[in-house]
């Protein structure tokens, strides 16, 4: 908490306390009791609640100023370049018409934007020395009042001996806003920095915009004072309401009941809101992770040195991840329709044998990769055809069997189909039995709750949207049945789907195994065709739990000369990075996925920094929500890369940190 905010809190607390004490005294004169206890609790809550609100208002004021200043830079850069800025150099004379024209252009910007104190440009030499090139000079004469003790204009090429981190970020090509107040010989400022690329595309100079720190502080204080002003009004209203409340016992009872109901509703809303927030964060991960493999391997396919076998493998990977992404999107769309009551179920003649066989065939490759059995049992007699929605029934079967394969590592999965009396009529039953990890009773209770999963942590081992079973159960109920689960932790699970078969009086009954029709067909994956790498001879540790992303990122890095070591979880990332560093052969770069099993990237990075690890760690995350960069930086990361990965951005970021590391090593030597 800043000192200004602390002063506001103290003043507001004293005034609120005095107001309530006066109200309490007036009530005691009319009754035997003072203000009810809850009025004091609410007052304390208002005082306490105003602190984060005031801090939030301060941050919003900071953000507004930042957006204002950051929005100007790109336009000014283009204006400078159109005005011939590229022809300016440190050898330009102060009376050069081009220089004077550029100065006048800056002065015009300042006149149009009185909130800005100064606009200037800087250049940097090979020794990272920074020089002022073009200064608006209006630090001194914007009000036509000169300070005789200062020069009227900064000389061209004057060395700036207090360069900030933000200046060097801009020289590296990254526009940035430095919200930390700094002081130089011209005053106290908040600054924004923008790269000015030359005709060759390289950043040779930067544009700086200074905003007076006093205005910055005043805007934040004004925002927090406004919050306390509204809070003071609420405390005043509270004092009046509490006084009236104490004088009317009947009103007190009625309002207590209303308050209780309001609190319960707020808690229910808060619980749903938190669940949806966790769901949105998970959706960002579930969508961006397959996109990383899809977009990355699409680029790889266009490479001239990609042979036929690699093309087939890459195309298959793209197809598999695309299907996963499509499934996630379909889940979202289906649930949206169900929740709005716009979803309808068809009643068509379909074969339960065909639906089960096609589902098994689609999941056969996945089961074979895990070396587990996937088989079907038919408890005859069964009707050859039933009346149901074949698309949705197959979707349910795929979801149940797909989950069983995902959570089974040894043994197998069995789909058993049978028919029995269900009280009001016949029911067709599909049992999906696995020998997987199983679920506890508490985990099972969350499976059919929207936006919930058995494991919602960032280090969970298995992905998924958390909607598949919810949607499947809705479909089952719309077809006259339900889905139930019987599971024991560590001993596997049985999911039971029941549906009404409709009118099967005319359907042929299959009574013998040799009469069961076969619908399995081998799957033929279609092949997909598509069309100055930098040199980064760095030792890189890639911490990524997705096999497809491991292969993609390692392939791209090795193509530019990197020596890549791959680990699949945060615990291995910590052990490998720390061991190499302590052995004197630390990795030049660690690429750290932030969501991994065993230990997530945040924990692994924090643990490395706590152990003294001082080499670059770059975050890889499929989250793109607000605050994610700050969360990664707080954990100890040096930079931030989002999935799907942009190859050019990734290489530029890695190269930049690797070059800095080499320069630091040469200086140390």
User: With b meaning 16 or more CB within 10 Å and e meaning fewer, what string describes 297-319?
Assistant: beebbebeebeeeebeebbbbbb
Query: 367 and 334 in one domain?
Result: no
Token pair for 284: 């960002």
Residue 527 located in a structural domain: no
User: With b meaning 16 or more CB within 10 Å and e meaning fewer, what string describes 61-87?
Assistant: bbeebbeebbebbeebbebbeebebee
- As a whole number, the mean pLDDT across the chain is 80
Query: 605 and 567 in one domain?
Result: yes
The mean-pLDDT minimum among 410-414, 449-453, 507-511 falls in 449-453
Instruction: Check whether 329 has a pLDDT greater than 60.
Output: yes
Query: 412 and 504 in one domain?
Result: yes
Query: 437 and 367 in one domain?
Result: yes
- Domain closes at, from 228, 248, 276: 276
Out of 329-338, 442-451, 455-464, give the one with best mean pLDDT. Answer: 442-451
Backbone torsion region of residue 612, taken as left when φ is above 0, otherwise alpha when ψ lies between -120 and 50, otherwise beta: left
Strand order of the sheet with strand 639-642? 563-567, 539-543, 589-593, 617-621, 639-642
Instruction: Check whether 566 has a pLDDT greater than 70.
Output: yes
Query: 260 and 185 in one domain?
Result: no
CATH of the domain at 328: 1.10.287
Instruction: Check whether 548 has a pLDDT greater than 60.
Output: yes
Query: 551 and 450 in one domain?
Result: no
Residue 66 located in a structural domain: no
Instruction: Check whether 510 has a pLDDT greater than 80.
Output: yes
Tell the burial category of 253 from Cβ atoms under 10 Å away from its Cβ (0-12, 13-18, 19+). Answer: exposed
Facing residues of 543 across strands?
Answer: 567, 592
Residues 642 and 609: beta-carbon distance below 8 Å: no
- What is the tens place of the pLDDT at every residue in 621-654? 876 555 678 889 999 999 999 887 888 899 999 9
- What is the tens place of the pLDDT at every residue in 281-295? 666 666 777 778 787
CATH of the domain at 382: 3.30.565.10
Cis peptide before 644 (omega within 30 of 0): yes
Give the model's pLDDT for residue 253: 44
Residue 147 located in a structural domain: no
CATH of the domain at 199: 3.30.450.20
As a whole number of angstroms, the distance between CA 82 and CA 101 comes to 12
**Full residue range of the structural domain in which residue 495 is found:** 348-515
- Domain closes at, from 321, 339, 357: 339
Strand order of the sheet with strand 176-184? 158-160, 130-135, 118-124, 203-212, 187-197, 176-184
Query: 426 and 410 in one domain?
Result: yes
Q: How confident is residue 56, by pLDDT bands cut at 50, 70 and 90?
A: confident
Facing residues of 349 across strands?
Answer: 387
Query: 257 and 238 in one domain?
Result: yes
> Where are the strands (E) in 282-425, listed by range?
348-350, 373-378, 382-383, 386-388, 412-421
């Amino acid at each position: 908490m800043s000192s200004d905010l602390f002063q506001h809190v103290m003043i507001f607390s004293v005034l609120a306390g005095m107001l309530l004490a006066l109200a309490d005294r007036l009530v005691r004169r009319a009754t035997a009791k003072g203000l009810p206890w809850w009025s004091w609790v609410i007052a304390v809550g208002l005082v306490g609640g105003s602190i984060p609100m005031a801090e939030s208002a301060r941050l919003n004021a900071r953000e507004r100023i930042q957006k204002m200043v950051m929005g100007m830079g790109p336009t000014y850069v283009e204006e400078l370049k159109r005005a011939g800025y590229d022809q300016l150099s440190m050898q330009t004379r102060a009376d050069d018409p081009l220089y004077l024209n550029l100065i006048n252009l800056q002065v015009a910007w300042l006149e149009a934007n009185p909130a800005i104190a100064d606009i200037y440009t800087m250049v940097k030499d090979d020794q990272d020395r920074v020089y002022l090139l073009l200064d608006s000079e209006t630090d001194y004469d914007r009000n036509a009042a000169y300070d005789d003790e200062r020069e009227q204009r900064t000389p061209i090429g004057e060395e700036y001996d207090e360069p900030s981190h933000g200046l060097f970020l801009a020289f590296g090509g990254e526009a940035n806003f430095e919200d930390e107040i700094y002081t130089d010989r011209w005053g106290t400022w908040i600054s924004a920095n923008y790269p000015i690329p030359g005709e060759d595309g390289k950043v040779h100079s930067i544009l700086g915009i200074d905003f007076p720190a006093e205005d910055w502080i005043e805007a934040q204080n004004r925002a927090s004072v406004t919050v306390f002003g509204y809070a003071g009004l609420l405390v005043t209203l509270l004092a009046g309401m509490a006084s009236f409340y104490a004088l009317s016992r009947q009103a007190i009872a009625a309002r207590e009941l209303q308050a209780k109901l309001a609190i319960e509703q707020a808690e229910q809303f808060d619980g749903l809101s938190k669940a949806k927030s966790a769901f949105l964060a998970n959706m960002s991960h579930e969508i961006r992770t397959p996109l990383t493999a899809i977009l990355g391997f699409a680029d790889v396919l266009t490479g001239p040195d990609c042979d036929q076998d690699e093309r087939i493998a890459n195309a298959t990977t793209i197809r598999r991840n695309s299907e996963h992404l499509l499934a996630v999107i379909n889940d979202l769309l289906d649930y949206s329709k169900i929740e709005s009551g716009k979803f309808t179920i068809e009643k068509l003649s379909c074969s339960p044998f065909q639906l089960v066989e096609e589902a098994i065939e689609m999941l056969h490759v996945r089961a074979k990769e895990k070396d587990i059995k996937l088989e079907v049992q038919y408890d005859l007699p069964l009707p050859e055809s039933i009346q149901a929605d074949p698309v949705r029934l197959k979707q349910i079967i795929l979801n149940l069997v797909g989950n069983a394969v995902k959570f089974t590592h040894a043994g197998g999965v069995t789909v058993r189909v049978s028919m029995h009396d269900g009280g009001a009529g016949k029911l067709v039953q599909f049992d999906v039995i696995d020998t997987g990890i199983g679920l506890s009773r508490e985990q099972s209770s969350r499976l059919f709750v929207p936006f919930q999963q058995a494991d919602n942590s960032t280090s969970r081992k298995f992905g998924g949207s958390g909607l598949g079973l919810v949607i499947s159960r809705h479909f089952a109920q719309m077809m006259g049945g339900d889905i139930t689960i019987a599971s024991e932790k560590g001993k596997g699970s049985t999911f039971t789907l029941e549906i009404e078969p409709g009118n099967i009086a005319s359907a042929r009954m299959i009574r013998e195994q040799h009469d069961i029709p076969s619908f399995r067909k081998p799957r033929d994956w279609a092949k997909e065709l598509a069309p100055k790498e930098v040199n980064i001879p760095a030792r890189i540790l890639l911490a990524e739990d997705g096999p497809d992303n491991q292969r993609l990122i390692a392939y791209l890095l090795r193509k530019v000369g990197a020596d890549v070591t791959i680990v699949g979880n945060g615990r291995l990332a910590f052990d490998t990075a720390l061991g190499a560093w302590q052995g004197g052969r630390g990795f030049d770069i660690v690429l750290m996925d932030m969501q991994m099993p065993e230990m997530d990237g945040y924990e692994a990075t924090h643990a490395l920094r706590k152990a003294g690890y001082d080499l670059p760690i770059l975050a890889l995350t499929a989250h793109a929500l607000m605050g994610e960069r700050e969360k990664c930086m707080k954990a100890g990361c040096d930079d931030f890369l989002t999935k799907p990965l942009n190859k050019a951005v990734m290489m530029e970021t890695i190269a930049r940190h690797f070059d800095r590391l080499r320069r630091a090593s040469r200086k140390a030597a």
